[in-house]
Amino acid sequence: MRKCDLLDFDELLFLGVRLLEGYADVRESLQQRYAHVLVDEYQDVDPVQRQLLQCLSGDQNRLWAVGDGDQAIYAFRGAKSGHLLRFEQHYPNGRVITLERSYRFTPQIAAVASQVIRRNASRRPLTLNAANASGVPVHVVSFPDEHPPRGIGGQTQAALEDKAEQRGFSLYAALGQSEVLSLSQMKAAKLLLALIEDVQRNKTEQSLAQFIAHVADVTGLRQWRIEQDPRHENDLLLLRSIAAKYDGVPTGTALEQFPEEASLAVEVDDYDVSIDAVSLMTIHAAKGLEFSNVMLCGVEEGSLPSENGDLEEERRLFYVGLTRAKERVWLLNCRSRFLFGERRDREPSRFLQEFDDSLKETTIMPDRPRRSKPEPKQLSLLG
């Protein structure tokens, strides 16, 4: 980028701070120009951004910062929630005003959120109070497993798993040579396997940006999105522009890092609340939005909280997802899930045990019927 005289966002911040710290006349000129500096989501600032704010606001109490430490969920991007906790240290003459009353959700949701988040040690004491009328308890629903793909029901999936186990195959390998599928299912399976093989082959031959464009074309995703709304072409262009940063990085390695960054980059500003449809998004993307009804999926150990995540940050993430709801919340988990080529038992998230039973209604869906393995037949010499 330097060869093209370009700077990325982080460099703009870093060089801006270096300019203001190194040249007093520039710093004082900007401080005199702005009577107040207003910052929203202060809990998400990183160290460089905090330095920039310090340079702009000086020591004259020009800074107005709004933040909620319980919604600090961007540590992986360098944000330091401790800046909010140490606000008085950074600004000794500052004043802190605590807002505890919410006009968004019901008392039940407020109580669940408060009981869960208070287990975090690194936070300011705060208990949410809801101004709205009483609502219904939070719904906790446990499913036996994730819903199988359309066209292959629970019994067929169980039979496939049995065949794979008997032959020492992965489920992927068994799918291509299994007699338990109908002709139509086998035809669809072969098309799927061919598509997967094509994608795997191109993953090693193309850059990440080229690979994304290829997948969008061969899967029909590009055409389908454009038919919905021509503006969706911009989403693909955005993804490819993000992927261009990984040029020179092996595509397999880049794919491990790209999804998280891409999911946070796609804008939700065009979200239309008047549309009668389900909105599917990450908790990070939903931050700042609100919905009458919210379903959090994968509320399981290893997912929420994630296996290697910071527990307090994971609890804040759960808190953010929970408090997007105005009226009703469903917290969904599976007792078994197919992950990384094998079926694994799953435990409900510990967060489900961190609030009172009186605040939740629990439904346990029955196990799906599974076909038992056939008993081996004894061969007879007499036929």
Tell me what pLDDT residue 179 has: 67
- Which range is least confidently modeled, 56-65, 70-79, 171-180? 171-180
Say whether both 352 and 317 belong to one domain.
Answer: yes
Structural domain including 364 reads 100-148+273-368
Say whether both 84 and 106 belong to one domain.
Answer: no
Say whether both 364 and 284 belong to one domain.
Answer: yes
Single-letter amino acid code for the residue at 203: K
Say whether both 15 and 91 belong to one domain.
Answer: yes
Q: Does the pLDDT value for residue 380 go beyond 50?
A: no
Residue in 81, 68, 13, 66 with CA at minimum distance from that of residue 36: 66
Q: Does the pLDDT value for residue 177 go beyond 80?
A: no
Say whether both 300 and 361 belong to one domain.
Answer: yes
Q: Does the pLDDT value for residue 383 go beyond 60?
A: no
| Residue 339 maps to a domain | yes
Q: Does the pLDDT value for residue 46 go beyond 60?
A: yes
| Residue 3 maps to a domain | no
Q: What is the mean pLDDT of the segment spanning 38-49?
A: 92
Say whether both 81 and 122 belong to one domain.
Answer: no
Say whether both 13 and 79 belong to one domain.
Answer: yes
> Which two tokens mark 209?
């940006």
Residue 377: pLDDT band (50, 70, 90) is very low
How does the average pLDDT of the chain come out, rounded?
A: 83
Tell me what pLDDT residue 376 has: 45
Q: Does the pLDDT value for residue 319 go beyond 90?
A: yes
Q: Does the pLDDT value for residue 49 go beyond 60?
A: yes
User: Domain ends where: 97, 124, 157?
Assistant: 97
**CATH code of the domain in which 40 resides:** 3.40.50.300
Contact 339, 329 (CB under 8 A): no
Secondary structure (3-state) at 218: helix
Residue with tokens 């199988």: 148
Query: For residues 338 and 69, which has the higher predicted lDDT (pLDDT)?
Result: 69
Q: Does the pLDDT value for residue 355 go beyond 80?
A: yes
| Residue 207 maps to a domain | no
Say whether both 46 and 74 belong to one domain.
Answer: yes
| Residue 196 maps to a domain | no
Q: Does the pLDDT value for residue 369 go beyond 70?
A: no
d(CA 227, CA 293): 28
Q: Does the pLDDT value for residue 301 go beyond 50?
A: yes
- Which range is least confidently modeled, 31-45, 117-131, 268-282, 303-317? 268-282
Contact 243, 206 (CB under 8 A): no
Q: Does the pLDDT value for residue 76 go beyond 90?
A: no
| Residue 169 maps to a domain | no
Residue 138: pLDDT band (50, 70, 90) is very high
Contact 142, 113 (CB under 8 A): no
Per-range mean pLDDT, top range of 4-8, 111-115, 122-126: 111-115
Secondary structure (3-state) at 358: helix
Q: Does the pLDDT value for residue 351 go beyond 70?
A: yes
- Which range is least confidently modeled, 44-48, 124-128, 141-145, 198-202? 198-202
| Residue 233 maps to a domain | no
pTM (predicted TM-score): 0.70
Say whether both 281 and 349 belong to one domain.
Answer: yes
Say whether both 329 and 279 belong to one domain.
Answer: yes
Q: In percent, how much of the chain has pLDDT > 70?
A: 87
Provide the domain count of the chain: 2
| Residue 235 maps to a domain | no
pLDDT in tens, 244-284: 878 877 877 777 777 766 665 555 655 667 777 788 888 99
Q: Does the pLDDT value for residue 215 go beyond 70?
A: yes
Say whether both 323 and 361 belong to one domain.
Answer: yes
d(CA 146, CA 300): 12
Residues 6+ apart with CB under 8 A from 342: none
| Residue 184 maps to a domain | no
> Which two tokens mark 197?
């093989």
Say whether both 108 and 83 belong to one domain.
Answer: no
